[in-house]
Amino acid sequence: MSALRWGCGAAGLGRALVPAGRRRLLAEEGAGALGGIWGRRRSSSASPCERDRRKDWGHAELLEVLEARVRQLQGESVSEVTVKRVDVARIPEGSGSSFQLSRKAEAGAALELRGRWAEKLDKEKRIMQKRKQRLEVKLQAHSQKPPREQQPRLLRVEPRLKNGQLAGCLQRWARGSPTSPWEEQLAQVLQEAPQKLNCEEVQAPADRGAEAQLSGQRQKLLAFFECCLLTDHLPLAHHVLVTQHGNFRRRRLLTLAMYNTVMLGWARKGSFKELVYVFFMVKDAGLAPDLLSYAAALQCMGRLDQDASTIKRCLEQMARDRLQVQKLFLAVPMSEEEQAVLLTAVRKVKPAFSPPPRPTPRVNTSPLLKDIYAQDGPVSYPKLHLPLKTLEDLFQQQLRVELATTVQVKSVEKAPALTSEVLHARETLRSLRDQWEAALCHELQEIKAELARRAHEGRPTLYPHLCLLSEQETAQMLLQVLQVLPPQGESLIQLAYQLGTRAFNRHVVQRKQREHQVQALQRRYSEYLRLLACDTQVDPPRLPRQYWESLGGPGGEPPPEQPWPLPVLVQLGKQLAEVLVRAVRMPRSPGAPPGAEQLIPVLYHVYSFRSFRQIGILKPHPAFSQLLATAAEPTLTFEAAEVPMLCPPLPWTSPHSGAFLLSPAKLMRAVEGTIQHQERLEHCPPAALHGALDALTQLGNCAWRVNGRVLDLVLELFHTRGCTRLGVPPPASEAPRPPSRRPAPGTPPAHLAELRREAARCLKAARELRSLRADALYRLSLAQHLRHHGAFWLPHNMDFRGRTYPCPPHLSHLGSDLARALLEFAQGRPLGPRGLDWLKLHVVNLTGLKKRESLQARLAFADQVLDEVLDSADRPMTGRKWWMAADEPWQTLACCMEIARAVRSPDPATFVSHFPVHQDGSCNGLQHYAALGRDSAGAASVNLTPSDLPQDVYSGVAAQVEVFRRQDAEQGVRVAQVLEGFVSRKVVKQTVMTVVYGVTRYGGRLQIEKRLHELQDFPQEFVWEASHYLVRQVFNSLQEMFSATRAIQHWLTESARLISHMGSAVEWVTPLGIPVIQPYHRTAKFQISGGIQSMTFNNNSDSSQRPNTLKQKNGFPPNFIHSLDSSHMMLTALHCYRKGLTFVSVHDCFWTHAADVPVMNQVCREQFVRLHSQPILRDLSRFLVKRFCSAPRSQNFSKNIQMRKLFQTLLALPETGTFDLEQVKRSTYFFS
């Protein structure tokens, strides 16, 4: 079995899928496997009864296959096809009860296909039959016409110009024969180039929706031109450019970047005539050449060895356009070879000219980072525990992995006995895959030929994108995807996005190979390892980013690969998915000899309902799924970027350079399709990002290894029946099943409805279990694959608020209790005099038994239960199993094992520990609010002040709510009387925890309602009223206990509301210099038509749309606090690295070796105080005023009123209290 997992995830793009030929039925896509990157769902307009019918019909999987087969055969002009006559693959006798259930589901669903839905389906079939008949008539008439030879359309070179003067000039020069016509012509064009845009460019679209559509079309067109250059189809790109330019309605799609792209292509080929044609079109479009335009012209002249007079006139025109020659070498991304050619041209006119030296890297001047970049202070940067030779070998292994783009991993699923049936199934699969690869290659060739024909007609197509990879590589990628399609199918939109992304990633790797970047990387990385290896020294000591930059050549970094726009990715993926559907077929009986039986499609495009929404999915035939299950192939296939690295990651040096060796990675993960985050990063001064870049590099440089003893125990449970309580999902055979008996005739409608709901619940539970089981399978298989590696690494990036995440999604420390317990530091550290005590404290913290006790009491408790700890370590599955009752059982068990090894060592102080010890913030969001507002009462509640015992804010809020409840009960409030004895810490904890992150009263009520439902003794008829009452009292309690916090929240919310009302998204800069912009906008739609299904996307993060006021104002307070806690974490990481500590984090939970916990605690407190000693709110106010209130007065009176109100609100900063931040340094339980 193969397991290509879809990439990671993200949040905010909804999409509606409109089936081709089914215009009356709206197919809308809900949130799916892209991890929340799709937007919110719409409500269904169907009646409840109609929803039940649709839902039941959508669950009848085999019937969907049959209906899809009917439609597919009808599309292939197979006459008189009915459901009863459809040929399906015969299922082997021993295929199990799942197919019997499918048959029963089919029979049950057939009974439900009466009524309005059945009428709609019948009507649709009649319409499709009539269309088929009309199409047959047309095809017959077309076939009777005599064939005519189709001559390939010639590619246009000479443009059609709208400006009569320019057109006449071009005609004279084209027909005349001066000595050097094109050189003279270029000079003439440059001199007469207009300095303003024409009216077509000035006119903006009528509304933001049209602007968004125009932006999407431009992105697709620019991607077409860029891919044409990469695939050596420059004449085709020129032809499409000329065609688009000649159509005055389409010309508004063209931008200077598109003209420049084609010009650059001709410059690289030394084709001066075609380059001049493009310059004519630039002038005709009313655009002024920029630095890239002149760089292309000069590069072309340098390749052709032109005389100095033409180059001189070009440089003079540059000066008149106020463009400096020096900036050609600084601001224009070029390869070293292109820079050399450009320099040759310039020196013909200016022999003494030398390219300006690369500017000296600036040092970040933030007061928070002053000590990090100081050259005079003592530093002790940590070294890895591996020698240089070992690291070089690991680099070569990782390089081979990324060049291959995929990794084969042995599955930990229990292997079946190698019976003749299993061996025959595997051999059948191998034979079919060989046939499918040939069929896919043939289909891809036909598709490329058709798309090339369309492109020759002047229309941009996907032809150059499909040419980036060979047919064989694309076919293998498609077969890998086919291997992992679940039996219930995959949403077409998600599948298309993932296929497009995989194609782009493979193209990036291949391009780096073609441009010899791999060889340069090998040389540079070999030198870089001298900084990290334990047996080499670099003098003076430097941060990894600084040292990597010093090893770069004079030309700097190669130009970054620009990601393809989301519409291009999805359209390309959709095209590839359709190729897969058409080309991949199998015999009706998998065991039949080739050619003996009719072939049937392996994949069907069907429609199903998910949460009452109709979506298009690609579903494998049950016979293919059964063949895969029978074969039970022992390998999984992962993308290279989904697997931890085998060598230290590349340092982050810019928004587009870092992490993996060859695979592309984003510095800032964001909603797919958004570009505003990347634009902010690229326009940010490089030095301003140094703090974030260095912190991410430091987190990625932490070496990990697998905890083998824990892994063996988890695998033991995984191979049996799992254990839900311990986070090990059971196999699919343990999933609940719907009643197999059909309801008797005359069953009451209410009972039938209950049976349908029960079947739906069982199906939902089975799907969730399959997902959890697959997730565990991938994690455990990767852990088993890496357990014998001495070390591996997890490159990091960040979200738009600055919070950091590991890039590999399946195996990392950012996950569940089980995921964290599987990992430990690869580099050990002796425990020292206090390390064992910290291990004991950590195991008590993990159990959750002594949260409100002092450290001394927790340590005494650890000594009391030492026998239980040792028993858990020695006999985890057969002993007293003390560890299983802990809050975090697997981490508790891992810590028990570490303590057992330490106490049994000859000298615990010299025991080398690899176990990470955590220090967790005490309601960290409220800690930041209390520090911002200098709120003494709030600070005491969240452990910012020294105390003998840890303060529990949740218990404090519960006590305050109880006071309010008692007062109301005495006044006769019924619900307050009912709640007597039920107000507890557990009931209010989730609401208190999330209120700091923007939870509303509605969301808080749902949280409390859920907790009340869990109380068996609470009268359930009062749940709704009691939840309303409690959420009101929780908010009142927080208002009283954290008055400054609520004032700051209100100020942030009101500021965001006013900013979004003015038509802007809220943005700010974190204390470490990271630019942040909130990606919440109104929905913009774009459509991909044609093929097996049309798709309409709802993009909620398009910056060309007006902001979503509700999300902007509700999101600002929590996002701002998240940006502060990420700044605190990064400061702690950088200072720990400077002191030689190993440090990683899970947001506000900091990890290090047991021996280094005191040092980390000191750094953590010092950096919190330094962070909040800055005037954070005042700086935020000044930034927002400058950004949103500095525009000149508008003629719109209401807009001026809004700006004035915003200005007044921003200046009215919340009042602060008198809390002394220095107390944090003495607080034991601030992080504990």
State how far the Cα of 301 lies from the Cα of 816, in Å rounded to an integer.
61
Please report which helix (H) or strand (E) contains residue 215, including its range: helix 208-230
State how far the Cα of 349 lies from the Cα of 1179, in Å rounded to an integer.
50
Instruction: Pick the catalytic residue from 321, 775, 920, 968.
Output: 920
CB 1188 within 8 A of CB 1062: yes
CB-based burial label for 306 (10 Å; 0-12, 13-18, 19+): buried
State how far the Cα of 475 lies from the Cα of 434, in Å rounded to an integer.
10
Q: 3-state DSSP call for residue 613?
A: strand
Give the chain's radius of gyration (CA, Å): 33
Instruction: Pick the catalytic residue from 799, 952, 1148, 1156.
Output: 1148
Looking at beta carbons, which pairs linking 1045-1051 to residues 24 or more positions away fall under 8 Å? 1045/926, 1045/929, 1045/930, 1045/933, 1045/935, 1045/938, 1045/996, 1047/933, 1047/1214, 1047/1215, 1048/929, 1048/932, 1048/933, 1048/1117, 1048/1177, 1048/1214, 1049/929, 1049/1117, 1050/1214, 1051/1209, 1051/1212, 1051/1213, 1051/1214
Tokens 């008590």 sit on residue:
844
1220 is catalytic: no
Q: How many helices (H) and strands (E) does the chain have?
A: 44, 25
874 is catalytic: no
Q: 3-state DSSP call for residue 1065?
A: coil
1148 is catalytic: yes
Q: Tokens for 26?
A: 């709206």
CB 1026 within 8 A of CB 981: no
State how far the Cα of 1177 lies from the Cα of 1183, in Å rounded to an integer.
10
CB 842 within 8 A of CB 895: yes
The residues, any chain, with a CB within 8 Å of residue 461's CB and separated by 6 or more, are 224, 451, 452, 454, 455
Instruction: Pick the catalytic residue from 104, 989, 1113, 1139.
Output: 989
* Cα 1107 to chain centroid, rounded: 22
* Identity of the amino acid at 704: W
Is the bond preceding 540 in cis, omega lying within 30 degrees of 0?
yes
State how far the Cα of 1093 lies from the Cα of 20, in Å rounded to an integer.
5
State how far the Cα of 13 lies from the Cα of 17, in Å rounded to an integer.
13
* Cα 1131 to chain centroid, rounded: 25
Q: What angle do CA 274, 277, 281 make, to 5 degrees?
A: 140
The residues, any chain, with a CB within 8 Å of residue 119's CB and separated by 6 or more, are none
CB 846 within 8 A of CB 886: yes
* Identity of the amino acid at 978: V
State how far the Cα of 389 lies from the Cα of 395, in Å rounded to an integer.
10
**Pairing between β-strand 823-825 and β-strand 1067-1069 as defined by DSSP bridges:** unpaired
Tokens 């991938």 sit on residue:
778
State how far the Cα of 256 lies from the Cα of 254, in Å rounded to an integer.
7
**DSSP for 666-701?**
-SB---TT--HHHHHHHHS-GGGGHHHHHHHHHHHT
**DSSP for 368-407?**
GGTTTT-SSS-------SS-HHHHHHHHHHHHHHHHH-EE
Active site residues: 920, 989, 1148
